[in-house]
Amino acid sequence: MPSGRTHDRITLWALPFVAGVAFWQTRSSSVTLLVAGGFMFGGLMFGPDLDIYSRQYQRWGYLRWIWLPYQKSLRHRSFLSHGPIIGTTLRVIYLSCLLAIAAFIILVIFEKLGNTRFNWSGLGENIQKSLVSYDKEYLALFLGLELGAMSHSLSDWCGSAYKRMQKQGISGLLPTSKVKKRKVSRRVRPSPPRTSTKRQK
């Protein structure tokens, strides 16, 4: 498995290529910026290795404790953390829930201290309008996050495959099925006792 520095280099080296392809496909500077920014964030701070004490985890600084429940809930390199699309989706949902809870607590405190009523229904409508109006932008950001995460996972898989090939040759790249061999215990039947017969003369 590549080191944290290697993952960072892969992200930085691939960034111009990702940005170039995004601009070539969209011809939009704002969408390209979102894809490139999401790719950088996904590769350096929002990648699959948040499930362990990794370089990505350490970059969150004083806020890294928010990922402790995430780490305790998932096994390292499981499909839920390193799998395509589902890994990024799960992290986005997890972080969004934490941000929503924090925003709710802050707004409640502000409402109590300021003796004002907050328009919760208006807030919900604004969030819904934002999701509908900027759907392409959210999709571009998610695509960047997914590409950054997949660059990390693919480098892990390629590194593991290379090590297996060094040890086992080309057969290390082929899928192996582990077949459990059942041990059949043969029962040995006891032989009948020999009887000595005396011939009568």
CB atoms within 10 A of CB 32: 21
pTM of the predicted structure, to 2 decimals: 0.76
* CA distances to 44, 111, 169 from 118, in Å: 37, 6, 66
Q: In this predicted structure, what is the pLDDT of residue 183?
A: 43
Q: Cα 144–141–131 angle (5° rounding)?
A: 155
- Average confidence (pLDDT) over 171-184: 48
> Would you give the end-to-end CA distance of the chain in angstroms?
88
Confidence (pLDDT) at 182? 43
pLDDT at 39: 96
Token code pair at residue 187: 């029962």
Torsion angles phi and psi, residue 134, rounded to 5: -115, 40
> Residue ranges per domain, the chain?
4-171
Residue-wise pLDDT tens digits, 115-169: 777 777 787 888 888 888 999 999 999 999 999 999 887 877 776 665 666 677 6
Report whether 98 contacts 68 (CB < 8 A).
no
Dump pLDDT digits (tens) for 20-64.
Answer: 999 999 999 999 999 999 999 999 999 999 999 999 999 999 999
Q: Does 20 or 175 have the greater pLDDT score?
A: 20
Up-side HSE of residue 48: CA atoms within 13 Å toward CB? 26
pLDDT per position as a tens digit, 55-98 = 999 999 999 999 999 999 998 888 898 889 999 999 999 999 99
- The model's confidence at residue 181, banded by pLDDT at 50, 70 and 90, is very low
Neighbour-count burial for 41-77, b at 16+ CB within 10 Å, e otherwise: bbbbebbbbbbeebebbeeeeeeeeebeebbeebeeb
Q: Does the pLDDT of residue 101 top 60, yes or no?
A: yes
Residue 44: closest CA among 146, 139, 149: 149
